[in-house]
Amino acid sequence: MLHAIRTTFLTPLALIASATLAQAQAADAEQSAALFDALGLPEMIEIMREEGLAYGEEIATDLLSSTSNAKWTHTVSEIYNADRMRSGAAAALDTALAGADVDAMLDFFTSDLGREVIQLETSARRALLDDDVDAAAKQAAGDALDAETSRAAMVTEFIKVNDLIDTNVVGAMNANFGFYMGLQDGGAFDGNLNEEQILTDVNDQEPQIRQNTTEWVYGFLMMAYQPLSDDELQAYIDFSKSYAGQALNTAMFAAFDQMFVAISTELGRASAQYMSGQDI
């Protein structure tokens, strides 16, 4: 079928404006891509993929009541496809950063301190893939909080400035809701559970999610920032308080919440199909 072609005549001024806009958009995209790399997100997404594969094993054991097999492992691996995760997160972050002061963000994260912070965060996240390291980090953080150390107080300030507990709790609940909706879409509940009931069940999980989130966030941050001096950590806190820091924090949560909800929904749907013996 032929589609009508709409012809638009542009004045030279309009052509210049159009070209200028295109150049500005290209520059913004380049800045966003540079920030994505400066934040260490390509490597962090690889770690998130490893976390996801481990979570897939938990689903096989806890929900599917079976050991993981090659078919399920392949399905989970495809859902946590690193290339797709990177491209999706990069596009979502680019959109979320529209109008933000990306230059200020790049200035910080390409500085010596910014690069060190990213390296420490990435190394700690990877180390926490080990269950024993994870447990030890949580125990050490709990001890520091009980002792009311100055470093625990600084990490608490960092957490509050970036609203890390509430936003991560909301993100986890959104992901859980997506998982349940995926199960429902895949026919796991035989129509016996509606969206309102799913929402109620997810809300009932909030206290446990909050406790788990609090323990993990403190364990991760106390471990990651241990090598930083108080002055260095305070500089990071000060950046986080800035307009650029707050805008970046908001954009990061928006981008990754979107990614994890989509992944969780796919996992739920695949789980339902696996439970029913369908091809996945």
What pLDDT is attached to residue 218?
A: 98
Task: Find tokens 């390509």 and name the residue.
Answer: 42
pLDDT over 90 percentage in the chain: 76
**In this model, does residue 1 exceed pLDDT 60?**
no
Q: Is 232 exposed, middle or buried (0-12, 13-18, 19+ CB in 10 A)?
A: middle
Instruction: For residue 67, name the pLDDT band (cuts at 50, 70, 90).
Output: low
Q: Is the pLDDT of residue 221 over 70?
A: yes
- The pLDDT score that the predictor gives to residue 29 is 76
Q: Distance between CA 102 and CA 105 in Å, rounded?
A: 5
pTM of the full structure:
0.86
Question: How confident is the model at residue 278, as a pLDDT?
Answer: 53
Residues 71-110: tens digit of each pLDDT: 899 999 999 999 999 999 999 999 999 999 999 999 999 9
SS3 content of the chain, % helix, strand, coil (to 5): 80, 0, 20
